């Protein structure tokens, strides 16, 4: 079945460092891809998404490009801030119209001043 | 974005008792609600999909008689863990969505069965 694999954390960075969190997927159809973020004590929030190959999702300085050839959707940010500390989840929707999401395990990001 | 409220945030119960978790969409009417379960260091696993006014659709391996889901209105879905056991201890998360639009998540409920 469909699945999502993302790098284990925690990822620990200094403020203003470059961030990459890897995410790869396995899907039989044409999924949409998502990154969700969960700040401490809060629910998951949609960070960005891409619905077809070569689409780039972006929000709050974060970017991810839907790469069908490598089945990847890596999350990047050029300069992280302490406020970016959170857990990041990569997810896919199988495109069947059911709105079901399949999640990766989540990657905790810790940014220190 | 829209707000989904989940209650309680955490609960401790005795083995053999039942626990009810509520999921409310506060400022929109959700045609569909989803219930997830998350084990430590694992991904969110979809348990069931709940549509207002109809029976929930459970994922393979999820016991529908143990995890009772009721979606009585467009703003409320409940998950009842019946005859809870320590292995049911987990983090339960709901999400709510309008058809083919973004899903909004509750903050989750930490259940501990002792």
What tens digit of pLDDT does each residue of A58-88 get? 999 999 999 999 999 999 999 999 999 999 9
**Interface check B93 vs A, CB under 8 A:** yes
Residue A44 has its nearest CB partner, among B49, B100, B105, at B105
Please judge whether B43 and A4 are an interchain contact, meaning their C-beta atoms are less than 8 angstroms apart. yes
- At A112 the pLDDT is 96
Query: How sure is the predictor about A97, in pLDDT bands with cuts at 50, 70 and 90?
Result: low
- Decide if pLDDT at B1 tops 70: no
Tokens for B95? Answer: 């999400």
Pick the most confident of A3-7, A15-19, A35-39, B38-42.
A15-19
Q: Is B71 left (phi over 0), alpha (psi -120 to 50) or beta?
A: beta
How do residues B47-62 score in pLDDT, each as one tens digit? 999 887 788 999 999 9
What is the residue whose two structure tokens read 């002792």? B114
Query: How sure is the predictor about B97, in pLDDT bands with cuts at 50, 70 and 90?
Result: confident
Mean pLDDT across B13-41: 91
- Contact call for residues A63 and A5 (beta carbons, < 8 A): no
- Decide if pLDDT at A26 tops 90: yes
User: Chain B contacts of A101, Cβ < 8 Å?
Assistant: 34, 44, 46, 95, 103
Positions of E strands within B1-66: 4-7, 10-13, 19-25, 32-38, 44-51, 57-58
- Decide if pLDDT at A45 tops 80: yes
Q: How many Å apart are CA A66 and CA A88, to the nearest integer?
A: 17
Mean pLDDT across A3-31: 93
Q: How many Å apart are CA B93 and CA B113, to the nearest integer?
A: 17
User: Chain A contacts of B52, Cβ < 8 Å?
Assistant: none
Mean pLDDT across B1-27: 93
**Interface check A33 vs B, CB under 8 A:** no
Task: Indicate the DSSP class of residue B56.
Answer: P
What is the residue whose two structure tokens read 């970016």? A84
Please judge whether A99 and B42 are an interchain contact, meaning their C-beta atoms are less than 8 angstroms apart. no
Phi, psi of A16, rounded to the nearest 5 degrees: 75, 0
- Contact call for residues B94 and B104 (beta carbons, < 8 A): no
- Decide if pLDDT at A96 tops 80: no
- Indicate the helix (H) or strand (E) that contains A102: strand A101-103
């Amino acid at each position: 079945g469909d699945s999502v694999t993302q790098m284990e954390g925690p990822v620990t960075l200094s403020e203003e460092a470059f961030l990459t969190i890897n995410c790869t997927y396995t899907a039989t159809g044409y999924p949409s891809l998502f990154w969700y973020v969960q700040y401490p004590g809060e629910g998951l929030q949609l960070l960005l998404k891409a619905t077809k190959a070569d689409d780039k999702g972006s929000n709050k300085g974060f970017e991810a490009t839907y790469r069908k050839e490598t089945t990847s959707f890596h999350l990047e940010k050029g300069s992280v801030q302490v406020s970016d500390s959170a857990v990041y989840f990569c997810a896919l929707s199988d495109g069947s119209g059911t709105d079901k999401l399949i999640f990766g395990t989540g990657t905790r990001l810790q940014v220190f001043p | 974005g829209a707000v989904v409220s989940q209650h309680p945030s955490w609960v401790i119960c005795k083995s053999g008792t039942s626990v009810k978790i509520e999921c409310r969409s506060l400022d929109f009417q959700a045609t569909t609600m989803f219930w997830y379960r998350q084990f430590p260091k694992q991904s969110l696993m979809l348990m069931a999909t709940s549509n207002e006014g109809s029976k929930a659709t459970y994922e393979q391996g999820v016991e529908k008689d143990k995890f009772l889901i009721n979606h009585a209105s467009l703003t409320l879905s409940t998950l009842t863990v019946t005859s809870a056991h320590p292995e049911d201890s987990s983090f339960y998360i709901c999400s709510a969505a309008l058809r083919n639009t973004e899903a909004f998540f509750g903050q989750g409920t930490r259940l501990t069965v002792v």
